Amino acid sequence: MGKLTKEKLLNRKIFESIDLSIITDKQMNEINDIIEVYDTKTIKNRLVNIRDFILYGVDDNWLGRLKTITDVLKNDVTSDYALEIRYGKDNVDTIKNTFKSKYGITKDKFIEKYGEMEGPKKWEEYKIKSKTPWGLEACIEKYGEMEGPKKWEERLNKKIKTMSERKKLKPYKNGRTLQEYQNRYGIEEGFTRWYNRNQKQSYRFSKDYYVDNYGVELGEVRWLEYCKSMDKCSLPNFIIRYGDDLGKSKYDEYVNKIRFSEHNRYYSKISQELFWVLYNKINEGKNLIKFAELNGEQFFYPNKQWRRVFPVDFKLGKKIIEFDGDYWHNREDIKIIDKKKEEYLHSKGYSIFRVLESEYRNNNGLIIEKCLSFINNK
């Protein structure tokens, strides 16, 4: 990607509709200062603010405004103070009217949602609830110029502490993996919720979604735009950017970084028990063995895209052992995946031996012998 410069920043898509010639030399210098303060990843979150500074003629100390937005206004987006920082004092009324027309909640909307009988009651409840003061301006109005900012700071610290404590109680990585769903909802319900979510996600990034939401013609265009944006993450694109050897290495790093967590993944402890026994009994080729607890599972990418991943449980050379849990591998959807995986692996010259969990529990000695015989049979 290279070092981020103001030229690269102002060439972003978000600035396409803005006449950049209106930016003064002082503002250009401030853009350089902003880039120095915020790293490449963080600057993405500041582009909207910089665009608004240009669009609304907010020309007083951009860097200071960005720091205020970052440090103070994280939870305050609608007060006059927040709007003045983001859009300039002269634009506050205009922005407030825009927000009101776009996001305003009215009695008619409640009646439309809850009906003639319940709507007015819900509206009155909402009005009482919405009067709860929040934001720096509300604190100053309630507690005065001296105590107001202190109360506001206390509220922010309390909220941050509450969020951090909440994370300690629920230390999930991202709330989206199968293991995390099962931890919260149990084995069966967790799998059902995780599977349903994945089905929705698959639809969200499909052509059907774009056609359903934007019509046939516009949907086709937006779908192609999405496909083009995803192409930048493909192996050919990495090779173009970095060359053959470095491109493949960078692509592997990228895949490992953003691979979906459900493939990273939910191996059973009993399968690792078997694989450690095999590892200790095998003399030749130990350095080629791969399984989860030893050095991570082996992943195959049949479509050369990180979203299509086939993990295998145990691999040594061209020999693969798959440990099938009684619950998971009796499901019809998992059987379909297993069949596709086997077809792909056979096409690549791999031999596969499947171990059933129930058989291993009943006679682990026999299964260990069969596995060793499969591995040693050349």
Q: What is the dihedral of CA 196, 197, 198, 201, to 10 degrees?
A: 130
Residue identified by tokens 């056609």 is 211
pTM over 0.75, yes/no = no
Give residue 309's region: left, alpha or beta (phi > 0; psi -120 to 50): beta
Domains of the chain, by residue range, sit at 6-103, 135-171, 180-257, 265-376
Question: How many CB atoms lie under 10 A from the CB of residue 41?
Answer: 8
CA distance 272 to 264: 15
Instruction: Count CB-CB contacts under 10 A for residue 62.
Output: 21
Output the six-digit token pair for 313: 């449980």
- As a whole number, mean pLDDT of residues 194-202 equals 74
Higher pLDDT, 264 or 212: 212
Tell me if the domain spanning 265-376 has CATH number 3.50.50.60. Answer: no
CA dist 46 and 66 (Å) reads: 8
Buried-exposed string 63-72: b where 16+ CB fall within 10 A, e elsewhere: bebbeebeeb
Residue 225 near residue 210, CB atoms below 8 Å: no
How many other C-beta atoms are found inside a 10 Å radius of the C-beta of residue 329? Answer: 16
Q: What is the pLDDT of residues 289-348, one digit of tens each?
A: 888 777 777 777 665 443 456 778 888 888 888 988 877 777 777 788 788 888 888 888
375 pLDDT more than 70: yes
